[in-house]
Chains A and B, each alone.
Chain A
């Protein structure tokens, strides 16, 4: 993938967060009868966040070559994360052992291109291992 301008976009995103904070904080009490209210602190760090993000965006526009990053591996990383998210979603329905086995299988087989039987063994062994050690031996609750 082609390089993107990290600072520019992240600066914009953080600026957005800063703006959101400022808007929400201004709806709360700034200075109450007894002292500063819940809106006091967030307002200030929201302003700081917005200000600094603008500075970041500004600098990134001034030096267009300073923040190029290599996105080539990102697809795999996002894929791994998607697998993780999926297995978390599975936790409620299938329980830990199954979801974890699925995740492990995916990582070993797809990410690391090991043969399927290796992936399956590792997945089952790891899931079983966790179950035995934690659920049975230590009595820790698993999802």
Chain B
């Protein structure tokens, strides 16, 4: 009896002495769902550079490319690494929409551990510089007069490009074609070559073309005006009452990790989002800083998927979940 009591006492003394916080002890793996050179890959590499510069991690971080299925493979990879404390992943909007439309996309953000939301990617609506449309209203009324004739280039029908189109069409009654191209380069080429009339594009992709005078912006897909485009109206200001669906990027971790681990990652990214290097990176690339911690991110996820589900169903896309 006494021995048992002693043992229990000993344990009670020892327990608080066990490590409370978490610090990584071996290289950290940052999973991205694109190949080298793709959007998430570039972001991850820049992030790693910033973390090294600002000494935010005591160990090295390495980018692991797990391309495939538009994010499905990477998400599944993270889900398999249950309990792994030295792996994180960069997620983007497609990780949120894939489970809605694809049977094979069995892993949603709810199956992983959300860590932080980092960025919002705004978008702008662009036409070729010599097009007759000076405002978004011009384009939409032209489309209304010739339903189905004007064309927009973009990504797949679940992409943000098409979501904007669906929202605008619904609120204005106009109709125009959407033509999918697999790469940003091809979409821009289609616009500049005069084969389509309009496109939704990210400002950092369009920036140089606007500077060179090849493209003109009609509106920005955002709630408030970006500093760099102070004289381009937002959708609401242009007369279209739609709530822009945000395109997000953030950090997730595998499921089943201890609370200290989550707190650690949260801390790292919160610190990073406040550093000068990060702010400069965000400004250079014309992103919007939209830091949210893990709890807020989880709530955001629910709102976002609900909204997307409605929009996709209206667009006639088959949703499986």
Contacts and interface: CB of A to CB of B under 8 A. Distances in A.
A and B touch in the complex (CB under 8 A): yes
Interface of A: 33-34
A138 B316 CA distance: 49
Q: Is the interface of B mostly helix, strand, loop or mixed?
A: strand
A97 B316 CA distance: 51
A33 B315 CA distance: 12
Interface in B169-208: 177-178
Contacts of B316: 33
3 contacts: A33-B316, A34-B177, A34-B178
Contacts of A34: 177-178
B153 to A, nearest CB: 13
A33 B157 CA distance: 13
Interface of B: 177-178, 316
A34 B177 CA distance: 7
Nearest to A33: B316
A33 B176 CA distance: 12
A53 B316 CA distance: 37
A34 B315 CA distance: 12
Nearest 3 interchain pairs by C-beta: A34-B177, A34-B178, A33-B316
A34 B178 CA distance: 8
A33 B175 CA distance: 12
Contacts of B177: 34
Contacts of B178: 34
A7 B41 CA distance: 48
Nearest to B157: A34
A34 B156 CA distance: 13
Contacts of A33: 316
Nearest to A34: B177
A33 B169 CA distance: 15
B57 to A, nearest CB: 19
A7 to B, nearest CB: 37
B143 to A, nearest CB: 14
A46 to B, nearest CB: 22
A44 to B, nearest CB: 20
Nearest to A141: B64
B138 to A, nearest CB: 23
A83 B243 CA distance: 59
A23 B316 CA distance: 24
B276 to A, nearest CB: 32
A34 B148 CA distance: 9
Nearest to A139: B62
A33 B317 CA distance: 12
B104 to A, nearest CB: 15
A34 B316 CA distance: 12
Nearest to A32: B316
B61 to A, nearest CB: 15
B2 to A, nearest CB: 49
B166 to A, nearest CB: 13
A34 B152 CA distance: 12
